[in-house]
Structure 1
Amino acid sequence: MRHLGQAGKIFTLSAVASVLVLSGCGSTPKPQSKPVAVNPTPIETTKVEENVTPEHKLLEAKKAWERTRDKNKRDALLLQAADLYIQNNQPVLAQQVLYEVKEDGVSNANNAYYSLLVTRTYAGMPDASPDALLAMLDSVDSTGETGYEKAQLQAQLYSQQGNLAAAANSVLKTNMPDAQKVEQVWQWVTAIPKESLAQVGETYPALSPFITLRKLTEENAASPAELARNLQQFQQVFRGHVLATSLPENVLEATQLTEAGANDIAVLLPLSGRLARTGQVVKNGIMAAYYTDVEKRQDEKLLPRLRFIDTHGADSQQLVDEIGSTKFVIGPLLKDTIEHLVPNLPIGVNVLALNRPDDLPVHGELKSPLDASATQVLRSDNKAEATALKQPSMQSEFSELGLPTSLNYYGLAPEDEAKQLAEFIFNKGYRAPIVIAAQSSLYQRMDDTFKKHWKTLNSAENKQRTNITSVTFNDSNSLREGITQALDVAQSNERINQIEYMTNDEVYNMPRSRRDIDAIVAFASPQDTELLNPIIEASLNPYDGKQVPVYATSRSMDYDSGKNQWRDLQNVHFIDMPWLMPSHKWQPLQKEVEQAWDNQNTMQKRLFAFGFDAYKLLPQLGMLNTLNYLSHDGLTGTLSLNQKGEVIRKQPQAIIRNEKVQMLSE
């Protein structure tokens, strides 16, 4: 338990001591660091009495003890005093009273009340253990008002643990209003990884309707009208359930979207000048995606008209004039062009930019003409119709487009890969990596991003030290020297030499590498990574019996170098686009691409996939913005949108084994 400040402690102790000299022993929940996954719903406290102070209750406890020597009655009044301290936002004083009651022994009659108060006081504090507090709640009755408060506390503690399924299950046992209960449970259920949903449904059957609803929205993500029809059927099946009358707000909003039937799309790319080849490859990807739609619809008249606009040498006003009345735009590709063009676009133009500015506001905070007013137009006042799951009447040309946001950003930023790699390695349980980065702006940016995100991940576990060993290099000599020093091999060699000098005997020993290192991360070019991996393997002591995995990003992979590259990259883990993996699901498309554009290099393959996914994403932006848990399975990765309108790209993992790329399922 925390201790009081000196003045407060003297006051409380004197007040309690005037009741009796407390004796006995006890223990408090052992502090333990745990990550806080989400902000928990505030716990509603039960008022003891109006206009009564904690001091009144302390005095009553004193008088009751003097008159009756009834320990249960005295302790009940002391617990009420602690309750009032909690309600008055004086947790330290509450903790001291609870501590003194514990020291004298908590009777069975007061144990449930005591457990609730201790849990309420310590829940959310960084040095308290959610596990210990949850264990205290086991003895609390689960019926009536006590049961409701117990469930609220359990929801808060489970959310602190990151156990979202258990937290959601507990919320269903509270007495929160139905609409609030549904929104909270829905928030947590949609944050659970898709692959875990089946197990969650088995463990917590009460969550099954929410899981069914999530699957329904995922299956009908391409059509708001189909979603609306299936939701009506869902409400019939689950008649009497809280979801039948209080569907999540974002699901209702998704049913209000109309099909994104754009008949004209403007694509802004650099098609001349220095970046002409880059722009052309992205254009090829867009055209390939366009023609796959031709095959599906079997009628070109149903497809939009694509207009390619060259951004090279054009100012923002020229581009606005070229766009004209077009309401759907893919591009531009360059950050500067995006920053200058977006504020000049008229309301109602929906942009999927192929890059993103360095500083992005959250949706709703945008200052350009695109946002607040545009979103206002879309959010038409059709609450009754939305509840009945009917399509609203068209309010304006913008609402006909069916997109709740007008600006999204999609890019292949290297920083995103560094962040994903940090999360992946951290979630694997590694805590002391060596990070090796080449001295170029690209790899230094990735290095900085990795370290910043690593620090954030450690902070979530209340750890101040990040335990990263850094190595930077600019040539093969500095690379070798940096790795051997980081692994402590150089120092080990020096110690061996010193012993030989002192004894005049040859020491038969192997240089030993550090044993605290658990992973190695490389941000380097494909050529440097080929050099790096053999140096690492040579520096690690084979007699330690410990393998230290090496991780890299797609920026370290070049699929044009031949088999020698894979030999030198043996056992290296990396992330990259599904499109470049050997066993992806788009084999027919790959054959067509190879026939149309022979001998694409690695970067061209990535840019092609980028353009392909951009076209495929455009009609889905409305649904992806409304239901953020939805994703698109694309050539460049699994794509979803965050609150800033950024496309978040998750790439699969692979490993080099036997001179071949092998996909990993984890």
Structure 2
Amino acid sequence: MRHIGHLNKRFIPLALGSALLIAGCSSTPEKVAQSTQENRPPIKKQMETQVTPEHKLLEAKKVWQQRRDKLSRDTLLLDATALYLDQDDILLAQQVLLELKQDGIEPRLHDRFALLLAEAYINNDNADPVKLHALLEGLSTSTAKQAEIQTRLFAKQGMWADAANSVLNTTQSEKDKVDQAWSWIKQLDDQALLKADKQFPALRPFIALRNLTKQYAESAAQLRQGIRQFQLSYPGHMLATYLPEDIEKAKQISAPALKEVAVLLPLSGRLASTGEAVKDGMMSAYYQQLSTQQDTDSLPALRFIDTVGKSPEALIEALGEAKFMVGPLLKETVEDLVPLLPTGVNMLALNRVEEEIASSSVQVNSPLKGASKAVVSELETTALTEVRYFALAPEDEAEQLAQFIFEKGLRAPIVVASQSSLYTRMHDAFKDRWYQLHRQRGTKAHVTTVTFNDSASLREGITQALDVAQSNQRINQIEYMVNEDVYNMPRSRRDIDAIVGFASPQDTELLNPIIEASLNPYDGKQVPVYATSRSMDYDSGKNQWRDLQNVRFIDMPWMMPSHQWPRLAEETKAVWPTRTTMQNRLFAFGVDAYNLLPQLGILTVLPYLEFHGLTGDLRLSEKGEVTRHLPQAVIRNERVQMLTE
């Protein structure tokens, strides 16, 4: 038993009494005069209104003393264990099981013993999940209790497909099975879905339903028709009878009536070029829709409002009768407007606000979250104000890098960050996510931080973090002691497995050569360097790519080579040939802001769905924030090459 988990030996009196009782069961009683079967006194059954584990232990002792019936005794001891588990006396349950193990379990009770053992240790942090799984898989027959424990164990480990498959074999109601399995299916990425489809045939209807919602996400009518067809294709299946709650809500969504959209941007003053780039993106998306839409009357009227020099009250008044608004762009303006929004006006803000403001702006009486019978427009309602937040948040990129590096199995990164406010925020976001991932996995986080404000402090910080300065010092000490030159190269730390840079494009061009010069080429170890889009400037020419050789980074799909919008890229290049990297990103931001409007309803109801935009794969979080997942690339031979890992 001790191979499964560390057993606490500090028994409370009741536990000690239980242990002594079991010991009494297993000891050989003193010889007494043999009696015939007829003269053997009957075992009195407990007539208590509530049977306790102690009752079972006493019965086990009597059975052993009177009949030496090991099967009956062990059955009663397992009954006691089950009762201890029912009342959450885990330590006492573990003690009974330990005594049984040491005394030898009756073979016919092995399956039940293994089930109770797994249940007793499932929440023990020191228990080995692999050995618990082995216990359950070694049973001679499959039972609903086995499926229940396996489901809990799989869910605890984050093995969502296994948990979903296992819950279908429990005794839960069909509706509960659907709700639980669907909640786990929604957490699988595309690769995990493909694997689950091959591995677990019972999950194929759930996977088909999720793929269907993804296929028809952009058309409310096609989505409803697809769901109806799905139910006809699986007659008698639990999903045909009990659709998940969010799918029922998705069926009710209809296309929003976007008659007029007010767009609030800074179109004058120092931020005029920023606002104009976003506006150009929105207009480009509008004209693209115009060229493909048969019914042009269904297109919204776009009305642009300059936010510069206007009070929040004046901006609200400028909305007029518009029920949909995009913007504003500045965080402080968003914070000022959210509390003043008239009832029924829906906002897609182009920035984020503090969490307490965001939480108060998503109404709890949203029909997308509640009622199920009336057909609900995606956004428009006369009695509701909805606010969603879409921002090019640098923190999102930092968190994505932390997630990616962690999933690759890298555990000892150096984080190099400029001391400016932007890169400090990114550094903090990376570390917060890094520590969170380690807490979830139960491992210790290691990270080395280097901050700098100029090239000298950058070089000094890198060499110290890599232990190169200490290595040089040791070489000098040896030369002094032996009074001759030591032909050796300084060695860098060998535990470092990644370097993450949060710095401007100019500083990153300096960072990479310093790192290469500081790493000992004879170590034979490649330490990857990672960066974000904030370290990339596509206007600097080939010299930049030469200095960034082998740097891996994430950026918008729109900025990557071989993206899916070549015609749009050619048109924008012809119209705006001198646009900067940042202006190109803001243009993509505007395109996605316009195209997101009709998708916000379905993304709210089915948050596992993604909208594939120019700025990334977009999802909507529970806080109403649009989050972006960006593709990866690497600089090789002075060119940007896409990565698929």
Aligned match of 2:364: 372
Report the alpha carbon displacement of residue 172 of structure 1 after superposing the two structures with TM: 1.2
In the alignment, which residue of structure 2 is the partner of 1:13? 19
Q: In structure 1, which of residues 341, 365, 386 is the aligned counterpart of residue 337 of structure 2? A: 341
AA aligned opposite 2:422? L
Shift of 1:61: 1.0
CA distance in 2, matches of 1:372, 1:238: 34
| Match of residue 154, structure 1, among 140, 150, 154 | 150
Any conservation in 1 of the 2:326–2:347 contact (CA below 8 Å)? yes
The match for 2:439 among 452, 459, 475 is: 459
Stretches of structure 1 lacking an aligned partner (at least 5 in a row): 23-48, 383-391
- Equivalent position of 1:38 in the other structure: none
Task: Pick from 597, 600, 609 the counterpart of residue 630 of structure 1.
Answer: 609
- Write out per-residue CA displacement over residues 558-605 of structure 1, whole angstroms, 9 at most, x where no aligned residue: 101110000000000000001001111100001111122221101001
> Within 5 A, what are the aligned runs for 1:170-569?
170-360=166-356, 366-368=359-361, 371-373=363-365, 375-376=366-367, 379-380=370-371, 382=373, 392=374, 406-463=386-443, 465-569=444-548
The alignment status of 1:612 with 2:618, answered yes or no, reads no
Match of 1:30 in 2: none
Q: Secondary structure at the match of 1:329?
A: strand
Distance 1:154 1:448, change over 3 A: same
Q: Scaled by the length of structure 2, what TM-score is found?
A: 0.93
Q: Which deviations, in whole Å up to 9, do the C-alpha atoms of 1:295-324 show, x marking residues without a partner?
A: 111554221000111111222221221112
Report the more deviating stretch, 422-431 or 215-224.
215-224
* Counterpart-to-counterpart distance in 2, 1:120 and 1:607: 54
Distance 1:329 1:100 in 2: 69
* Cα separation, partners in 2 of 1:100 and 1:402, compared to 1, 3 Å: farther
- The RMSD of aligned alpha carbons is 2.1
278-287 vs 331-340, which deviates more? 331-340
Letter in 1 for 2:622: Q
C-alpha spacing 1:564/1:314, structure 2 compared with 1 (3 Å): same
Which segments of structure 1 move beyond 6 Å, counting only runs of 4 or more? 402-405
Displacement of 1:405 after TM fit? 7.7
Q: 2:119 matched to 1:124?
A: no
Give CA-to-partner distance per residue, 1:398-457, whole Å, 9 cap, x none: 976599982111101111111000001000100000111111111111111111110001
Q: Where do 1:26-37 residues align within 5 Å?
A: none
1:317-369 Cα offsets, whole Å, 9 max, x none, are 2122111221111111112211221121122222111111132578xxx435x
State whether residues 260 and 403 of structure 1, in contact with CA within 8 Å, keep that contact through their aligned partners in structure 2.
Answer: no
CA contact (8 A) 1:378 1:399 kept: no
Percent of aligned pairs with the same residue?
55
CA–CA separation in structure 1 for the residues paired with 2:516 and 2:417 = 17
Letter in 2 for 1:67: Q
Q: Give, in angstroms, the shift of residue 393 of structure 1.
A: 5.3
Question: Taking structure 1 as reference, are residues 260 and 402 closer, same or farther at Cα in structure 2, changes over 3 Å only?
Answer: farther
1:557: Cα distance to partner?
0.5
Q: Distance in 1 between matches of 2:317 and 2:591?
A: 26
* Whole-angstrom distance in 1 between the partners of 2:485 and 2:171: 77
**Deviating more after overlay: 493-502 vs 422-431:** 493-502
Q: Does 1:2 align with 2:7?
A: yes
Alpha-carbon separation, structure 1, partners of 2:335 and 2:49: 57
Matched AA of 2:347: V
CA deviation vs aligned residue, 1:243-272 (integer Å, no higher than 9, x gap): 111111101100101111311111111112
Letter in 2 for 1:432: A
State how far apart, in whole Å, the 2-side matches of 1:584 and 1:334 are. Answer: 29
TM-score normalised to the size of structure 1?
Answer: 0.90
The aligned counterpart of 1:75 is: 74
Task: Name the structure 1 match of 2:60.
Answer: 61
Q: Which region of structure 1 is more displaced relative to structure 2, 70-79 or 572-581?
A: 70-79
- What is the rounded CA distance, in whole Å, between the counterparts of 1:338 and 1:399 in structure 2? 19
Structure 2 residue identity aligned to 1:437: A
Aligned mates of 1:618, 1:660 — CA distance in 2: 35
- Structure 1 residue matching 2:360: 3-state secondary structure: coil
- State the alpha-carbon separation in 2 of the partners of residues 437 and 602 from structure 1: 21
Q: Residues 400, 341 of structure 1: CA spacing in aligned structure 2 closer, same or farther, 3 A cutoff?
A: closer
CA distance in 1, matches of 2:468, 2:367: 63
**In the comparison of the two structures, how many residue pairs are matched?**
621
Q: Secondary structure at the match of 2:617?
A: strand
Instruction: Look up the equivalent residue of 1:95 and give its one-letter code.
Output: Q
Q: Deviations over 1:161-218 (max 9, x none)?
A: 2221111111111121111111111111121111332222111111111111111111
SS in 1 for 2:269: coil
Name the SS of the counterpart of 2:171 in structure 1: coil
CA 1:475–1:378 in structure 2 vs 1: closer, same or farther (change >3 Å)?
closer
Deviation, 1:286, is 0.7
* Cα distance in 1, alignment partners of residues 372 and 474 from structure 2: 77
How far apart are 1:133 and its partner, in Å? 0.8
